[in-house]
């Protein structure tokens, strides 16, 4: 860690943050938990849950109060995503994407007019989405084929986006397209596109292994007109906006993973206290105690890394390395913790009658989206060797 960073991770929550955590935890238990089974079966978030997110202020946590937001910080976003993920990682990712991938570029690069027009909608009732990935540009995020052409003073977007979280529900999209392919990634530009724009449509919804209630869709742009006032940031600076946004977004994924892992361990802990074998509860066997202790220690270590990266970001520090480390470790630990939880449930863990198999399936995405584990390792290595 560089010398200008705090010497110790700032992990203790303030009274306000603790109260916020308790409120979100209560919301997750009372409103999200009863809907999980049906949302999983339908592979769709319950539409009646979304307005409740807005009512609680979860869809504009860092947005200034003048735009209808909560005026909070990234730590509150991390807390919210973690607490909801303890119940359902799929329900949490909608909150995460809104507060990191959508609001970061808008709060950082939008004009005053853009903020006045879009932020109040996004904090009141409109879900947002971030559209960078394409079929041919995954880890190579800037090999974009979607094009933006300026025709008679209006930008025209043509191409397809893939793997877009919130695609089915979103009313506003942050879209990246190349306005000058001759410049390579330096031609990439960010645009604000509203649902319902001529030529814009939502395509295939993916049938996924995990986080099934979260929509992951294709977006189709067929000569979609975008007014010049809807260019987000300078033309040709889209690559910079995308990178900065993903750096913050990785904290959200880290929060999702530690929440998912903790939820799995909480469920397994309750189960082994009740389940009896050989005349005593499973929790009395030292072999099981040690496995649980090891997993709990790893989850806490990952939590400290996620919280520390969050605090550093809130304090205005660069978190390229810390964010990548937090996301990497949290996703690795989540895989191990959820696997152990499933095993502790025994044969029941492999059935849909118990939550262990869902926690396990939801864990895998953490090593893939917003930068695979190999991409995080590359980012960390570059920072270390700089």
The catalytic residues are: 370
Q: Give 173's strand partners.
A: 129, 193
Q: Are 345 and 271 in contact (CB under 8 A)?
A: yes
Secondary structure class of 137 (helix, strand, coil): strand
Backbone angles phi, psi at 86, to 5 degrees: -65, -25
Q: Are 360 and 339 in contact (CB under 8 A)?
A: yes
Contacts (Cβ under 8 Å, ≥6 apart) of 296: 265
Neighbours of 35 (CB within 10 A): 18
- In angstroms, the Cα distances linking 217 to 121, 170, 365 are 22, 11, 15
- In angstroms, the Cα distances linking 266 to 82, 87, 314, 330, 374 are 14, 10, 29, 17, 29
Gap between the Cα atoms of 30 and 27, Å rounded = 5
Gap between the Cα atoms of 164 and 331, Å rounded = 20
Strands 188-194 and 172-178: antiparallel
Q: Give 176's strand partners.
A: 190
């Amino acid at each position: 860690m560089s010398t200008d960073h705090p010497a110790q991770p700032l992990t203790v929550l303030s009274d306000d943050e603790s109260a916020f955590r308790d409120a979100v935890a209560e919301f997750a238990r009372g409103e999200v938990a009863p809907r999980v089974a049906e949302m999983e079966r339908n592979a769709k978030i319950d539409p009646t849950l979304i307005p409740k997110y807005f009512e609680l202020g979860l869809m504009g946590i860092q947005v200034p109060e003048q735009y209808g937001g909560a005026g909070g910080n990234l730590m509150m976003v991390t807390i919210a995503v973690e607490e909801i993920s303890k119940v359902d990682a799929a329900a949490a990712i909608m909150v995460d994407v809104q507060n990191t991938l959508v609001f970061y570029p808008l709060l950082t690069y939008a004009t005053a007019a853009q903020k006045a027009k879009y932020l109040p909608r996004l904090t009141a009732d409109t879900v947002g989405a971030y559209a960078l990935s394409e079929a041919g540009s995954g880890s190579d995020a800037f090999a974009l084929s979607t094009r933006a052409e300026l025709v008679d003073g209006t930008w025209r977007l043509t191409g397809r986006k893939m793997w877009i979280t919130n695609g089915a529900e979103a009313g506003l999209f942050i879209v990246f397209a190349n306005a000058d392919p001759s410049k390579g990634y330096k031609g990439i530009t960010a645009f604000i596109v509203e649902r319902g724009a001529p030529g814009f449509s939502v395509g295939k919804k993916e049938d996924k292994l995990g986080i099934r209630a979260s929509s992951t869709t294709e977006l189709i742009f067929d000569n979609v007109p975008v007014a010049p006032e809807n260019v987000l940031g300078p033309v040709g600076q889209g690559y910079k906006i995308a990178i900065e946004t993903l750096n913050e977004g990785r904290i959200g994924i880290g929060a999702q993973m530690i929440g998912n892992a903790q939820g799995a361990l909480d469920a397994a802990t309750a189960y082994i206290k009740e389940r009896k074998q050989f005349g005593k509860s499973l929790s009395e066997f030292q072999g099981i105690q040690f496995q649980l202790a090891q997993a709990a220690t790893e989850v806490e270590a990952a939590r400290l890394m996620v919280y520390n990266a969050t605090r550093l970001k809130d304090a205005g520090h660069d978190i390229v390395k810390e964010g990548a480390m937090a996301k990497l470790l949290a996703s690795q630990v989540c895989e191990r913790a959820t696997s152990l939880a499933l095993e502790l449930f025994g044969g029941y863990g492999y059935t849909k009658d118990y939550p262990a198999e869902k926690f396990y399936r939801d864990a895998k995405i953490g090593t893939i989206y917003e930068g695979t584990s190999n991409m995080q390792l590359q980012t960390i290595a570059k920072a270390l060797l700089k």
